[in-house]
Every structure is written in structure tokens, then in C-alpha cells.
Chains A and B, each alone.
Chain A
């Protein structure tokens, strides 16, 4: 077993946070609307239609732009010294320390331990009929190098994508059938057969124990 999932889990347990560094989106005079250590929330609603907490305003050419929090968490490293001054684009303004929930932890761990089959370009992706049936019936079917699990649909032209990595089982499908996927985004997460039960155990452990 070359993956030490427990160690990985332990690192997340010790530090269940992810810091999102926020940079100024463009030049302008900045006015902060939050304080250090303040709790903020991200966009809400089914379609994320309600914006998160107002973080700061950036004024350029008498145009006041309001910048809202992209995720929930606590404000850290706030550059209070920049308040009221002219700021260049891309300057670090603050970070949001976001506490990972169990689904996010599982997602991060799986991305670390699974073999990811990523999208070669921005296109629509579909499971090949053979693999769609297998996934429906078996749940986690095996996959061998040379298999064609995915169809890439671009400009009405379909191309079969060949899997060429280590043999294993399809543990997770990351995309919706027929949805547009950005280049480099994961499509399939493949797990070596001998690690399957171990990974399953860890996932179950996180699901039940993580608070």
C-alpha cells in the first residue's frame, strides 16, 4: 500500500482550512467593508443568486465596484493599511480562511489518491454507451488501458478518448452527461483495485466522524 490515507487524513484534521487569497480585481481606491477575523459567507441560493458578504469597494473613474465574498470563512491577513489608498491590480488584499466540510475533505483526498482522467479540452463529454451501462449495473466497473470510456463531443463531432494509465476501477465520475467541461477538469477518478476497500473505509470514516 503506497498511499497513506491516514496520514493524509491527519493533515486535514490538523489543518481543516483552505486559505483563499483575494487580490484586487483592478486598480482603484479601496475601501474595506470587513474587519480582521470577521466571519463572512459566500454566495447563497440555489443558483448562487444572492451574493456573499460585501468585502470591499473599489472606486475607479467614479465607478464604485462592490466585491463580495466568494466563499464562507474568516477574514485573515487583511491589508488595512491599503484602506482609502490607490491600489494596483493583483495586489493581495486579504485571505479568507475557509473551513472545509466533510464533502470538501473527501473531494480533496480523492483528488490526491485517485488517478484522474482529465478533459483534454473545453468540450461536452459523455460516457460511452458500454461504460454507461457498466456504471449503471456494477456501480464501479473496472477499466483497462486501451478502453474508451469517454466520448468527447465538440462541434457536433464525437471523438472516443482512450484510457492509457494504470488498470483499476472507476471510483468517481466527475461530470454530468453532456455538460460542458473546462480543459483540465477531472472527468473520471480511477482507483487501483487493491486500494478500493481501503479508500472506501477512509471515506466512510470521514463521513461518520468529520464534524
Chain B
């Protein structure tokens, strides 16, 4: 090739590189007005146009000048990078994607569940990969399952990394494969959020299933977050160690979404840029913020303006960090000594990312896996803890602790020690008596008759599932029923189904009194306040609230949120959106948790999560069924950022441990139940029911319209459709709630109502 052509080619390449750097800056700042980037771009364009007309020397001089100008701007931006800039870096088309990671971090990989657009869900990629490490002159190769979101390189079918429900289902399938094969899993989170559709298996329900499985998945898991969009991120985010890219974001909601809510922007209207930037800063979504909040474990350093596709040094760093994280997770479960030795050797490694001072085998035996699961549980239970707990002091604290210990001891003795023996004895007696019953009946019958004459059987609803129902009517109540204050109004109201079902106008005192807020013609359920349920659902004087000292706070110091909290506290007389309590239903003791609408629309933050976990633990210790009645939940509280998001894995972990230990967990949805809680600790229940006319889903119609560009039918989230999709197991009438709950408890609990 002639020398002149070669230099022309080089200058051409240089222009392209400068062009990419300039457009990257524009991508980050979302404007050509920042700095003099617009002029630089214009000049670059001119040089490109006149490259063959100008002298070679002149071209290079001009390019050098432009290079210096761009470098100056890059330096300036790197020094003053804002959270909004970080969001734009993550969304830039030049940013690395999962495919780049697979190609550059791992030695080889085979995609599973399809490849490219021929795929179950191209937004979710699963691959078996190998990764090797060099220890001195020896090479060790490890098998890995890689699961993550692929945003694509401009491919429409990747859906921008928004996994559909069946994509998350695919991820779960390969998580189980890794568990079976005993290989670690590396998760890569590159998602702005889950695709909010309810088609089977349903966005929320599938995320909940993933979280439920991951809580106790018997293999080490490491996750790396580049773009962590709320529930979509959590679907593959519950890992033993969570790493995060230094220029990534992990948030409860996109800054645009938060801005639309905060600014009460109407659908279709433009959200002001300043408000988006303000919300991005308020949400504390950057890597440093998340590290401070304890929602991630470590930050993987990127180049000053974020890693791009060709940043091979970054991929070497990422490879090193992923291997190191896996080593640490495995060693922590193996032994403290091994972990300490490893840490010391790594410290002596002089920051090299090429070579490891020591090789670690990632295979784990049963006891190590048990330890791994314990550590995972501790890790998530600790997350978001310490916000809003008003600790009791002095004698009161001591008494409270002593009571807790005594209670735990009593229930452990009663159900942990005596109950299994009692069961075994009963089993043996039943087996012996059935075998020899014919022979022994003649002998035992007179004795039994005598025994029953002297000691007649007592009425006990807990002796069998249906016996209680036959003997005792639950309709006969011994107290005056609570009537909603809504009934104190002299007016009529129109049923929303009046046109379709021909419902007559309803007189309010009748509707909210005798009819319990239910239209007698079509059965439409009008919303009722949460107090109605507390008064009418449980046995008289059995309801005892606990953990009222855990209160909602403003841990992120979200501007203006303190005043809103104060207002809600004043309005409701309560200090969080959840009520946890002990109660009885027709003699059956249970532990309950109720999210209600009057306080921050039933959203879940650190305090609510902590109260839920403690209620779950109380149900586990006291061996009682656990009822989650959701009067309304609007999702995770956005004002608590990722501290709210981590309540999803945290509460799911508690639920999983409760169910695994033999508990009966029933969820009943009412009014509106959406987003995070449904996609985690509620959606994972095997027994989910809904009160008629309620709505259940992942995202509301507006979010669906804005995300998918498609409208949804007005009844898209109705309980009826949720039942058709298999998300819930039944629809209950409010007037029969108590009866249905009792039936559910005795049917599903059976003789093992107070533990299996």
C-alpha cells in the first residue's frame, strides 16, 4: 500500500475515533450545547469532508487540535460526573454489553436456550462458559453458568435488555441446571427493568419465583450490576456477592419515572430535564451510593468515563474481580482460616489482575453448601436494617428480650421437641392399632367406652380440618359488628357496572353497612378502609399488634419526603404502612401482616420490610400460620431507593425460610396490589387469593403504555384475569372472607396447621 494511502487511512480511522468520542460525550450530556462539543463535531465533519483536499500535515494538525479539545472535555466531565450522567453512560450505545463480557472475560462459551433472535427471550442470555486463571505457570479452568441481560448492539429484538416473563423463567431453568451440576453462576445485570406484561407466567409472578428459588439455590452466585432497574434486576440479582460497575446505576425506578411521579406529570407530557436530574441525585443510584447503603458488596472500577466495548483492560479487571468474588464466596463457606489465608495472599498480589497467587476449587460439599445458604440468609437479612427502629432502652429492653427468649424456648420445647415425639408415638399407635384392630377391638372397645364416659372429648377446632366446621358455626358471632364510617352519609352511589349489569343506585348506609360495601346486583366490591378487616376478620380481642416501634423514615434524606411522612403519620395515627399482629380466626391462632393504603399508599420501605421479616420469624418461632393481607400496595417506596428494592430479596428470604421450616403462608390481595412486593415476598406464596374487584399486577396501565407502546384492556389487572392466568388460586367475596380464611387454614394446614 502506498505511504500516502496508508496515512489517509490512518487519518480516516482517527476521525472515526474522535467522532465516537465526541458523540459519546453528547450521549452523556444529552446535548450539543455542553462545552463546545457541538463546534468540535462540526469541525470534525468539515475535516472529514475535506480530507482529500487538504494537505496531510494540515489534516493531522487539525485532528490533533480536536483530539486535545475532546480530551479536555473528557477530563472536565470525568471530574464533575453527575448521577444523571451515569444513567446516560449506562444507556449509551457504545457501552459494553453481556456479549462483550462473554467474548472478553470468558475463555469460551456456548449459548443456551437459543441464540440471537432465535431464542426464548433474546433479552435474557444464558450460557455455559469456561474461565481460566493463571497461578504461577499453571492454568486452572473453571466451569461457569453465565446468565444475564443482553441489551444488544442496536438489535430491536433484544428489547433493550427488558426480559419478558418467559426470559426470567429461562434464567431460572438454567439456575437449576447449575445447581444440579454444582457450578457457580455469574449474573450480569444490564436491564432498565422487566418487561411489564402479565402474560403467563407473568412479570411479577416469575420474578417472585426466581427470588424464591435463588434464596436457597445450592450453588455460589455472583452478580455484576451495570444497569440495575428495580424488579428486573432482582430477578437475577439475589446473589452471594453483588459487584457493581463504578459507572453503573442500581435503582428502584428510572429517574424519568421518579420525576414523573414526583412532579405529578400527566401522561404524554414532557418531564423537565432539571427534575430528572434532581431525582437521579435524590435516588442515590450510583455505585458509591449503593456501597454506602450496603446494597452491594464491591465496586469494579471502570475507565474515567465508563467502559466501552473495546476497553480490554476493563474486561481483564472484570474477569479478575468475578473470579476473586467467586473464590471469596466459596472460601467463606468453607472455612474462616482458608478465607483469611486467601485474603492475605491476594493483598500481596501487588494489584495484578493477570495472575492469581492461589488456585481455589469451587466444588462444595453438603456442609459447605449449608454454610453458604446461612451466610446468604444473614447477608440479606442485614440489608436495609437499622433504619427506623426505635430501640427500647434500659429495663424495658431487657424485659422485651427476656420475653422473646422465653417465648422462643417455650415454642421450641412444645413444637420442636415434644411435638415430633408425640407425632411419632401417634404414628406407631395408629400403625399397630390398624394392624391388630380387628383382633384388639373386642378388648379395647369397653376400655375406650369407659374412658370416654369418664373423660368426654373437649371441643377443639384444631383437632382436625373439618371437625371444627361441623361443630361450630362461624356465622354466630357474639359481638356487635363493626360498621364502616363511610356508611354515615345520607346519599346514594352508582355502581361502576350499572350500565352493564343494570345495578340500581345504592343508598350509602345500606351499602357500607348491611352490604359490607358489595353491590347486591353485580357483586362489585367498593373499597373499604383497612380497619373494617381488622375488626371483622379476626376473633374478638385476639388482635395484638407488635413491633410498633419500627417506624418509616427518610433514610436517603429525599427532599420533601419528611413532610409527607409527617402528614401521613398525623392522618393515620400510624408510623408505617404495615401492621403486624397476632390474631385468631375462629380459634386458630395466626400471625398477620397487613399493608394498607392510607399510609404512603401501602408502599414498602426499610421499616415495612423489617416488620414483615420479623412477623415472618415470629410465625416461624411460634409455629403459627402466616397471613399477609394486602389491603393495598403501590410497590416499593421510591423515596428509599435501593434500600427499598432490597426488601424484595430480604423479605423473600424470610418467607422461604418460614415455608421451608414447615409454615403455612397465605396471601390475600385486596383493592390494588402492584410491583415489587407482588414480584417478591407476596408472589412467591403457593396460596394466593384475591378479594373480588381487586387488581393485581406488576406495573400499572400507564407504565405498560409507556414501556411497551401498547394499550391494555381496562380489566387487564383484574382478579378475574389474574385467576385465569394462574397468578392467584381463588377469588373471595369480602362478606365471606372470614369463612374462606378459616376454610383455607384448616384445609391447607390440615392436621399440620401449626407446622408440618
| A-to-B contact residues, CB < 8 Å | 26, 45-47, 49, 60-63, 65
Q: Is the CB of B714 within 8 A of A62?
A: no
Contact B711 A63 (CB under 8 A): no
Whether B492 contacts A63 by the Cβ 8 Å rule is yes
Contact A46 B491 (CB under 8 A): no
Does B490 lie at the interface of the complex (its beta carbon under 8 Å from any beta carbon of A)?
A: yes
In the complex, the answer to whether B493 meets A46 with C-beta atoms within 8 Å is no
B713 touching A63, Cβ below 8 Å: no
Are B492 and A61 closer than 8 Å at their CB atoms? yes
Asked whether, in the complex, the Cβ of A47 is within 8 Å of the Cβ of B714, the reply is yes
B472 → A minimal CB distance (Å): 41
Residues of A within 8 A of B521 (CB): none
Given contacts A60-B505, A61-B505, A61-B507, contact A46 B494 (CB under 8 A): no
Q: Which 3 A-B pairs have the closest CB atoms?
A: A62-B491, A61-B492, A63-B492
The answer on a CB contact under 8 Å between B491 and A63 is yes
A127 CA to B522 CA, complexed, in Å: 33
Whose C-beta in chain B lies nearest to the C-beta of A48?
Answer: B714
Tell me the complex Cα distance, A65–B506, Å. Answer: 13
CB contacts (< 8 Å) of B505 on chain A: these are 26, 60-61, 63
CB within 8 Å for A46 and B492 given contacts A60-B505, A61-B505, A63-B505:
no
Bound together, the chains give a CA A130 to CA B711 distance in angstroms of: 38
Known: A46-B713, A60-B505, A63-B492. 5 other contacts (CB 8 A): A49-B713, A61-B491, A61-B505, A62-B490, A63-B505
Q: By the criterion CB–CB under 8 Å, are B490 and A63 in contact?
A: no
Cβ contact within 8 Å between A63 and B714:
no
Nearest residue, chain B, Cβ from A61: B492
Q: How far is the CB of B587 from chain A (nearest CB, A)?
A: 42
B716: nearest chain-A partner, CB-CB: A47
| CB proximity of A59 to chain B, nearest CB, Å | 10
Query: CB-nearest residue of chain B relative to A26?
Result: B505
A57 to chain B, nearest CB (A): 12
Q: What are 25 A-B contacts defined by CB distance under 8 Å?
A: A26-B505, A45-B711, A46-B711, A46-B713, A47-B713, A47-B714, A49-B713, A49-B714, A60-B492, A60-B505, A61-B490, A61-B491, A61-B492, A61-B505, A61-B507, A62-B489, A62-B490, A62-B491, A62-B492, A63-B491, A63-B492, A63-B493, A63-B494, A63-B505, A65-B494
Q: How far is the CB of A61 from chain B (nearest CB, A)?
A: 4
Residues of B within 8 A of A45 (CB): 711
Question: Which residues of A sit under 8 angstroms from B493, Cβ to Cβ?
Answer: 63
User: What residue of chain A has the Cβ atom nearest to residue B713's Cβ?
Assistant: A47
Residue of A nearest to B507 (CB): A61
Interface residues of B toward A: which range? 10 to 19
Q: Which residues of B contact A26 (CB under 8 A)?
A: 505
Chain B window 443-461, contacts with chain A (Cβ cutoff 8 Å), 1 for yes, 0 for no: 0000000000000000000
Closest to A65 in B: B494
Task: Please name the residue on chain B nearest to A63 by beta carbon.
Answer: B492
Distance, CA A112 to CA B491, complexed state (A):
48
Q: List B residues 112-143 near A (Cβ within 8 Å).
A: none
Bound-complex Cα distance A63 to B489 (A) = 11
Q: Bound state CA distance, A65 and B494, in angstroms?
A: 7
In the complex, how many angstroms separate the beta carbon of A64 from the nearest chain B beta carbon? Answer: 9
Return A194 CB to nearest CB of chain B, in Å. Answer: 45
Within 8 Å CB of B490, what residues of A? Answer: 61-62
Min CB distance, A50 to chain B, in Å? 10
**Cα A46 to Cα B716 with chains together (Å):** 13
Chain A residues near B494 (CB-CB < 8 A): 63, 65
Give chain A nearest CB distance to B99 CB in angstroms.
Answer: 37
Cβ of A186 to closest chain B Cβ, rounded Å: 23
Chain A residue at smallest Cβ distance from B715? A47
**In the bound complex, what is the Cα–Cα distance between A200 and B491 (angstroms)?**
57
| Bound form: Cα–Cα A61–B490 in Å | 8
Question: Which residues of B lie under 8 Å from residue A61 when comparing CB positions?
Answer: 490-492, 505, 507
Interface residues in B701-726 (C-beta closer than 8 Å to A):
711, 713-714
Interface readout for B530-573 with A: 1 if CB under 8 Å, 0 if not?
A: 00000000000000000000000000000000000000000000
**Alpha-carbon gap, A65 to B493, bound state (A):** 9
Q: Given the complex of chains A and B, what is the CA–CA distance between A46 and B714 in angstroms? A: 10
| Chain A residues whose CB sits within 8 angstroms of the CB of B492 once the complex forms | 60-63
B713 to chain A, nearest CB (A): 5
0/1 per residue, B482-505, Cβ < 8 Å to A?
000000011111100000000001
Q: Please provide the chain B residues from 292 to 342 with a CB less than 8 Å away from any CB of chain A in the complex.
A: none
- Residues of the B chain whose Cβ atoms lie less than 8 Å from the Cβ of A62: 489-492
Task: Give the distance in Å from the alpha carbon of A198 to the alpha carbon of B207 in the complex.
Answer: 61
Residues 394-412 of chain B, each 1 if its beta carbon lies under 8 Å from chain A, else 0 = 0000000000000000000
How far does the Cβ of B456 sit from chain A's closest Cβ, in whole Å?
A: 53
User: Which residues from B are CB-within-8-Å of A49?
Assistant: 713-714
Interface 1/0 per residue, B683-694 and A, CB below 8 Å? 000000000000
Q: Which chain A residue lies CB-closest to B504?
A: A26
Chain B residues whose C-beta falls within 8 Å of the C-beta of A60 in the assembled complex: 492, 505
**CA–CA, A197 to B367, complex, Å?**
85
- The distance from the CB of A177 to the nearest CB of chain B, in whole angstroms, is 21
A47-B701 Cα distance, complex, nearest whole Å: 13
Instruction: Give Cα distance in the complex from A60 to B508, angstroms.
Output: 13
**Nearest CB on A from B526, distance (A):** 13
Query: Which chain A residues border B711 with CB–CB below 8 Å?
Result: 45-46
- Looking at the assembled complex, report how far the CB atom of A42 sits from the nearest CB atom of chain B, in whole angstroms: 15
Residues of B within 8 A of A47 (CB): 713-714
Q: How far is the CA of A45 from the CA of B713 in the complex (A)?
A: 9
| Distance of A45 Cα from B701 Cα, bound (Å) | 13
Min C-beta distance of B97 to chain A, whole Å:
35
Taking the closest CB of chain A, its distance from the CB of B506, in whole angstroms, is 9
Chain A minimum-CB-distance residue to B505: A63
CB distance from A139 to the nearest CB of B (A): 32
Query: Whose C-beta in chain B lies nearest to the C-beta of A46?
Result: B711
Q: How far is the CB of B594 from chain A (nearest CB, A)?
A: 31
Tell me, rounded to whole Å, the shortest Cβ–Cβ distance linking A96 to chain B: 18
Contacts of B713 in A (CB 8 A): 46-47, 49
Q: Which residue of A lies closest to B710 (CB)?
A: A46
Instruction: Provide the residues of chain A in CB contact with B491, threshold 8 Å.
Output: 61-63
Instruction: Provide the bound-state CA to CA distance between A49 and B715, in Å.
Output: 10
* Shortest distance between the CB of B494 and any CB in chain A (Å): 6
Cα distance A65–B490 in the bound complex, in angstroms: 16
Neighbouring B residues of A63 by C-beta, 8 Å: 491-494, 505
- A42–B493 alpha-carbon span in the complex (Å): 24
Q: Min CB distance, B449 to chain A, in Å?
A: 55
Give the complex CA separation of A136 and B491 in angstroms.
57
Give the distance to chain A from B560, nearest Cβ to Cβ, in Å: 32
CA distance A167 to B713 in the complex (A): 43
Contact with A along B46-74 (1 / 0, CB 8 A): 00000000000000000000000000000
A60 to B491, CA, bound (A): 8
**B714 cross-chain contacts in A, Cβ below 8 A:** 47, 49
